[in-house]
Amino acid sequence: MSSFAVPTTLTEYEASRKDLILADRAQRADHKKGQLSKLEALADKVIRQVRAAEAASIWSLEYEGIPHPFPGMEFLTGRSIIVQTKLFEILGKMPKGGLLHAHLDATVNVSFLLKAALKYPAVHVRASTALNATNIGSVLPEMSVLPQQLRTSSDIALTDHNYIPDTWVPMVKAQESFASQLGGPEGFDRWITAALTINPTEAYVTHNTVTKIWQKFASTFVVSAPLVRYEPIQREYIREFILSSIADGISYVEPRINFLRPFIAEDGQRQLTHKEVLKDFQKVVDEVKAELKAQGREDEFIGAKIIYSTIRFITPEELEWYLRDCIALKKEFPHLIAGFDLVGDENVLKPLTYYLEPLLKFREMQKEAGVSEIPFIFHGGETLGDGTEADMNLYDAILLGTKRIGHGFSLVKHPKLIDLCKERGIAIEVCPISNEILRLTSSMHMHPLPVLLNQGVSVALCSDDPSVFGNMGLTFDYFQVLAASEITGLIQLGEMAKDSIKFSSMEEEEKKDALAAWQKRWEVFLEYAASEGRKFLAQFEGMKVSG
């Protein structure tokens, strides 16, 4: 400590101060990286200047309907400003590494899902009452795929006061016939979209608590599930998820698939076996990889694995069935099954302790089945609670040997668990925008991420449920993190991207290749970021002089 004794001269002081700041940041990935290359240092510096320039310009203006704009603000309100920034444009080109925390059912733009749904005659929609201007905001669409014999040719509008509640109408007809007073076909699309996404008023006004926003959040999955889980749509959906991820600079995806809800075959009737679901998934992945190879772009996508998930409201007996199902799939698709998780609102559903018996048996069950290890990759601490079951899940996730932690929002309160995460190489899947929209934090500035980074915990940034939040890809989440800190710069973002590969479920060989490929693309990106940023800064200075 003596090295930090109170200095008396300015020179002594400056030296001690430098030492102290270094000691305080010594565990950060960007500091551990050590000496930067000329290019890294330049790009990092330029990006910090771009960030400062835009904080003082585009973020300092007043906007209709955005009372308090600032970098890192509430995503749903600030999104329209974010997409206009140079910082966002540049980050869009950054190689992001892997996407380690995303729920497959919520990974693709709603507009894409809607378009897909309209292509298949099996897709029908109904409402619990005839829609009108007063109830359209509260009545949810129920969509489903029907077997041939149940399909209707009914073309009565859902908005017709003669509409008989809960009558199925083919999706296309329902869209065509949607009353013009309610916006016609576009009004229909808006109605569906509103049910599948969270809007600013819901997040920041009407549902402005964790409990209330989770109710809206959960409802979006109920509405979308029948579409997303309809085999022909699911194939397109998975393909689009992978392609849009690649377009955003993501080179590997490890989505969680919820095997509790049914998957329906093309005929609209038969339930797919989980084996068929994985076959479909693998097929799409292989197709995409082949196409990229044909284009000489194989470096852009390493592949995909799946985290088998079910929902934390089932009984321990039911969980045991899912564990066995997961093991059976692992036997058939050893390279596809990456881990096992329980999903759903930790604040209201069952804690991990409720499932201790089956969970403790999982390892043994795997040995008996003779499959290579299936690690737990648990959600944990996605809560504001201090000592609540959701917060306590962190103890159990770690005791049960979780490979990573999903969210770990409350981890910062637990010094011993932070040590364990570092000692055991447990990375945290941090979902900045998800946490903010689900009201764990009011803006990125209140997010505990800097605590994790300064404590030296490994972090992979993730999008969680982009179709509901509107944070497609990873660029938005990287943007929010970069915008809300003066310490975090491009180098730290790069280290998090690397960690998303290092802590993924890829084989060691795959990781090596992935890291090498990432490094190549990173160098190219740094060149681009530096030159693009400088151009912007030059214009910016110009404007300041002229204006």
**Cα–Cα distance measured from residue 113 to residue 120, given in angstroms and rounded to the nearest whole number:** 12
Handedness of CA 223, 430, 489, 69 (dihedral sign): positive
Nearer to its own copies, 205 or 294 (CB): 205
Nearer to its own copies, 212 or 261 (CB): 212
As measured in angstroms, the least distance from the Cβ of 412 to its own copies is: 6
242 closest CA partner among 268, 200, 209, 280: 280
Instruction: Find out whether 138 and 466 touch, Cβ atoms under 8 Å.
Output: no
**Cα–Cα distance measured from residue 158 to residue 167, given in angstroms and rounded to the nearest whole number:** 9
As measured in angstroms, the least distance from the Cβ of 440 to its own copies is: 8
**Cα–Cα distance measured from residue 144 to residue 402, given in angstroms and rounded to the nearest whole number:** 36
Nearer to its own copies, 447 or 521 (CB): 447
**Cα–Cα distance measured from residue 75 to residue 7, given in angstroms and rounded to the nearest whole number:** 44
What pairing do the DSSP bridges indicate for beta strands 250-253 and 256-258?
unpaired
Nearer to its own copies, 70 or 540 (CB): 70
As measured in angstroms, the least distance from the Cβ of 446 to its own copies is: 6
As measured in angstroms, the least distance from the Cβ of 85 to its own copies is: 19
How far, CA to CA in Å, does 329 sit from each of 257, 332, 403?
Answer: 13, 5, 19
Nearer to its own copies, 130 or 496 (CB): 496
Q: Which positions touch its own copies (CB under 8 A)?
A: 1, 4, 6-10, 13, 16-17, 20-21, 23-24, 26-27, 67-68, 70, 206, 208-209, 212, 356-357, 360, 363-364, 384-388, 391, 395-396, 398-401, 412-417, 420, 423-424, 440-443, 445-446, 448, 450-451, 454-455, 484-488
Describe the crossing of helices 475-483 and 490-502 by its angle, rounded to 10 degrees.
140
As measured in angstroms, the least distance from the Cβ of 177 to its own copies is: 37
As measured in angstroms, the least distance from the Cβ of 349 to its own copies is: 17
Nearer to its own copies, 55 or 265 (CB): 55
Handedness of CA 434, 438, 440, 443 (dihedral sign): positive
DSSP state of 104: G
Which residue is it, tokens 């201090």?
Answer: 386
Handedness of CA 381, 383, 384, 390 (dihedral sign): negative
Nearer to its own copies, 39 or 55 (CB): 55
As measured in angstroms, the least distance from the Cβ of 1 to its own copies is: 6
Instruction: Report, in this order, helix, strand and coil percent for the chain, each rounded to 5.
Output: 55, 10, 35
Nearer to its own copies, 484 or 526 (CB): 484
As measured in angstroms, the least distance from the Cβ of 315 to its own copies is: 17
